[in-house]
Amino acid sequence: MSLIETIEKQESELVFKRFDEMTALEVGRRLVDLALSQKAPVVIDIRTADRTLFHAALPGASPDNDHWARRKSNVTLRMHKSSLRVGELNRARGRSVSPEIGLDPLEYADHGGSFPVRVSGTGVVAAITVSGLKSEEDHAMIVTVLEAYLASA
């Protein structure tokens, strides 16, 4: 299975029955716990298109990580796909975030680390973003937490 197929499978399986502020808080706390256990210098951000629901900057993260998180979540909220999948699809097509495809690179980043919050029967309502590690590691941290959270929900 290719990386794109793996991500598509994750996106189709990691679907919430409901998602609200308390869900964002619980998922955010779990991400913080995992990141702290790994001493990961990350920013964690959960947002809708117009509202931040959860945000944490952990030791070692820099202000630049906040900007990366915003840009990656913009991709996820616009495309309704994880930022890693968008980046992989762009690379496969020989393109990148640029004005040529209608995206300002100061506002959008197609690097891994933002994952769509998809609610069954509704669609994408938010983005969960981690920034501070390598693209695939940011993505994997989110997937690890979502797999455990949704298995227990």
Phi, psi of 152 (to 5 degrees): -95, -10
Q: What is the DSSP letter of 133?
A: S
Q: What's the domain range around 146?
A: 3-152
How many CB atoms neighbour CB 127 within 10 A?
A: 28
Q: What pLDDT sits at residue 153? A: 79
One pLDDT digit (tens) per residue for the chain, 153 residues: 899 999 999 999 999 999 999 999 999 999 999 999 999 999 999 999 999 999 999 999 999 999 999 999 999 999 999 999 999 999 999 999 999 889 999 999 999 999 999 999 999 999 999 999 999 999 999 999 999 999 997
CA-based nearest residue to 112, from 80, 141, 143, 139: 139
Residue 11: CATH number of its domain? 3.30.450.150
- Number of domains into which the chain is organized: 1
